[in-house]
Amino acid sequence: MIVVMKQGATPEQIEAVVLRVEELGYKVHLSRGEARTIVGIIGADDYLLSQDIFEVMEGVERTVRIMEPYKLASRNFVQAQSELSVGPVTIGGARVVVMAGPCSVESRQQILETAHAVKEAGASILRGGAFKPRSSPYSFQGLGEEGLRYLAEAREATGLPVITEVMSPDDVELVNQYTDIFQVGARNMQNYSLLKALGKVDKPVFLKRGISGTIEELLMSAEYILSHGNMQVMVCERGIRTYETATRNTFDINAIPLLKQLTHLPVVADPSHGTGKWELVGPVAKAAIAAGADALMIEVHPNPARAWSDGAQSLTPERFAQLMQELRSVAAAVGREL
């Protein structure tokens, strides 16, 4: 439930509504727009929804019941586009942000070389996995804290903020010492213990859609993080499992404009996992920008043929630089920057 304040409502009137909500035993989230302030009531039950408690208070224009099961993630709750700040980078604004780097950190030389290359090409954030959830227990699982240290060194050398995956609530404290953005992979979208733990940190969370996850399930997973206090969440379309086997996954381009309608959270596209083939990464990345994506995550490796994971979908630095040039043209065509 939200309480929409009148245009020009005084700070005292807004505070009175907030105090009344808290007196009734509910939590509050304030959204201050240019024209109006919205008081979000978290945990509103049937009793509250059946009462006309707030309409009679001074400065209140109306109350609105949010029908979606995801309350805090809903566009009805926060009507303006949310923007997340990561150092000098803003995600959710006019500029399309590109995150790039290898699927997994393999060595100090590899991540430093890649970091310098993607920065030179125009990427704003460095990606790299130190902990890797793999389908096979015999596949490379990541370097762990050693990989995190290499990522931190690459950040120091290039100035690029870092995004890396966290897999367990037990790892949140460790990863928090090194990363600028927590990544929740597709296999952990509904790891609710992890989501609750990330709701208590003060850093952005990058939440990937599950392999067979619906849009509503993705937003409900985001709701777990938001409801535990962390409003710095972005959601990512990375392809879903269908009957098609010609590509690694089926990239759901529909999800991007639909998510932009349903949620105020920034929407990211991952064409690398969405296709599994480096030749398709560029076309799908361009389509994602045209569809309204706020950011892209693209895998780049100095030598994809020798990559320890996901080499088939990784671009060489040279191909990535060329793609960045092409993406700038697409972004300009739809009134965005890159």
Collect contacts of 277-283 with beta carbons under 8 A, ≥24 apart. Answer: 277/247, 277/248, 277/312, 277/313, 278/304, 278/312, 278/313, 278/314, 278/315, 278/319, 280/247, 281/313, 281/315, 281/323, 282/323, 282/326
- Where in the sequence is the domain holding 53, given as residue range(s)? 2-64
Q: Are residues 17 and 136 in the same domain?
A: no
Could you count the other beta carbons within 10 Å of the beta carbon of residue 176? 14
Q: Are residues 117 and 56 in the same domain?
A: no
What pLDDT, on a 0 to 100 scale, did the predictor assign at position 135? 63
Interval 214-234 mean pLDDT: 95
Is 50 a residue whose pLDDT tops 80? no
Q: Which residue has the tokens 């040279």?
A: 318
What pLDDT, on a 0 to 100 scale, did the predictor assign at position 27? 86
Which candidate, 311, 202, 313, places its Cα nearest to that of 248?
A: 313
Mean pLDDT is lowest, of 33-47, 71-85, 239-253, for 33-47
Q: How distant, in Å, are the alpha carbons of 1, 64, 226, 247 from that of 71? A: 8, 12, 9, 35
Q: Are residues 115 and 169 in the same domain?
A: yes
- Tell me if 327 is assigned to some domain: yes
Q: Are residues 201 and 313 in the same domain?
A: yes
185-213: pLDDT as tens digits: 999 999 999 999 999 999 999 999 999 99
Percent of the chain with pLDDT over 90: 78
What pLDDT, on a 0 to 100 scale, did the predictor assign at position 140? 63
Query: Which has more confidence, 133 or 330?
Result: 330
106-153: pLDDT as tens digits: 999 999 999 999 999 999 999 999 987 656 665 666 799 999 999 999
Q: How distant, in Å, are the alpha carbons of 119, 319, 328, 338 from that of 332? A: 20, 20, 6, 8
What pLDDT, on a 0 to 100 scale, did the predictor assign at position 165? 96
Q: Are residues 96 and 208 in the same domain?
A: yes
Mean pLDDT of the chain: 93
- Tell me if 78 is assigned to some domain: no
Q: Are residues 197 and 252 in the same domain?
A: yes
Mean pLDDT is lowest, of 68-77, 104-113, 227-236, 286-295, for 68-77
How confident is residue 156, by pLDDT bands cut at 50, 70 and 90? very high
Q: Are residues 187 and 88 in the same domain?
A: yes
Helix or strand (DSSP H, E) at 64: strand 60-64
Q: How distant, in Å, are the alpha carbons of 95, 145, 222, 224 from that of 172? A: 29, 12, 17, 16
- Tell me if 286 is assigned to some domain: yes
- Tell me if 71 is assigned to some domain: no
- How many independent structural domains does the chain possess? 2
Q: Are residues 187 and 328 in the same domain?
A: yes
Q: Are residues 59 and 105 in the same domain?
A: no
- pTM strictly above 0.85: yes
Partners of 263 in beta bridges: 74
Which candidate, 84, 91, 65, places its Cα nearest to that of 76?
A: 65
- Tell me if 104 is assigned to some domain: yes
234-271: pLDDT as tens digits: 999 999 999 999 999 999 999 999 999 999 999 999 99
Q: Are residues 208 and 292 in the same domain?
A: yes
CATH number at residue 144: 3.20.20.70
Q: Are residues 150 and 38 in the same domain?
A: no
Query: Which has more confidence, 308 or 258?
Result: 258
Q: Are residues 59 and 179 in the same domain?
A: no
- Tell me if 72 is assigned to some domain: no
Distance CA 26, CA 139 (A): 47
What pLDDT, on a 0 to 100 scale, did the predictor assign at position 273? 96
Interval 284-288 mean pLDDT: 98
Is 69 a residue whose pLDDT tops 90? no
